[in-house]
Amino acid sequence: MTGRELPELSEDDQVLPPLLEERGIDVQIAIWDDPDVNWDEAGLCIIRTVPDYAPRRKEFFEWARNVPKLLNNPTILEWNSDKHYLQELAGRGLPTIETTWLEVNQDLSKHQVHTRFPAGGDFVVKPAVSSGQHSTGRYTAREAYSRMAAIQHAMEILDNGHAAMVQRYLVSMEERGEISLIFFNGLLSHAVEKDTILDSPNGTRPTVHRNRAHPHAITSGERTRGEDVRAALHESIKQLLGRDEQLIYCRIDMVAGDDELEILEVSLFDCNLYLTSDHKAAEAFADAIAMRAFW
């Protein structure tokens, strides 16, 4: 299923329906809030890209909880939709990017927000609940105009009822890129390296993002870190549900920190799986879906 902005799926996902049909699956592409869709009569339902969920988060998860056979589990997805889950993963011993959390209930003034920014270097401001990168901004502590724009950005996020995250900008993302490991049914399928760069601010909030993905040969350290993340993730799932549950897909994003690989994000829905980055990736996802459909 998808959102209204992508009624025919994303370009990357469009390779999937023919592969599923080859495996004997009747594929129907549906928009999650289409009133004409009877979800009670649907079979296995898999959420792909739903960029419109974030501003309608409550409505989206009310819908999700009423869809039979939805993957991934909506309780897990709701937990994953708020990046406070990074605090939980950090509490389980995983290295995550150092983050200053600006919470709505702190009722922070502009001055108090300002004092929570780094004293030097570049930093990133983004909401704890968002879809994609459109609401992420990069700023520099060295310029007054940039700090003012960052304050305004953070206040907008808080005024919209969401926590704001302040993170140092990792130059390593420009030098090495961001690594994404993609798992299907708990098995590592493929990896990509992304040239993910938030352009430096030039007076207003930066809006230009470059995100080119290339196939990546997984190192032993990355593989180990990915399995560490999955182990911690499933501990959280057991705590949420009272039992463990397999994930149809999972994307783990990591970057090179000062001393080790740090976790940037874990995406369990509404994310690019880079199915066209590797000739075997789409086949692996189709096989994973077929396994669950005929389970």
In the chain, CATH 3.30.1490.20 sits at: 99-168
36-40: long-range contacts at Cβ-Cβ below 8 A with a sequence spacing of 24 or more?
A: 39/66, 39/67, 39/68, 40/68
Where is average pLDDT lowest: 25-29, 209-213, 237-241, 267-271? 209-213
pLDDT at 207 over 50: no
Per-residue pLDDT at 199: 56
Contacts of 87 (CB under 8 A, 6+ apart): 101
Mean pLDDT of 26-39: 95
Regarding beta strands 137-140 and 122-127, do their DSSP bridges make them parallel or antiparallel, or are they unpaired?
Answer: antiparallel
Residue 282 has pLDDT above 60, yes or no: yes
pLDDT above 50 for 146: yes
Architecture of domain 171-294: 2-Layer Sandwich (3.30)
Kindly report, as residue ranges, where domains of CATH 3.30.470.20 are found in the chain. Answer: 171-294
- CATH number for the region 99-168 comes to 3.30.1490.20
Confirm if 262 and 97 have CB atoms less than 8 A apart. yes
Separation of alpha carbons 160 and 227, rounded Å: 35
Vertex 171, ends 80 and 96: CA angle to 5°? Answer: 30
Phi first, then psi, for residue 89 (nearest 5°) are: -65, -40
259 contact partners, CB below 8 Å, separation of at least 6: none
Say what the pTM is: 0.92
Mean pLDDT estimate for the chain = 91
Q: For residues 228 and 62, is the Cβ–Cβ distance under 8 A?
A: no
pLDDT at 133 over 70: no
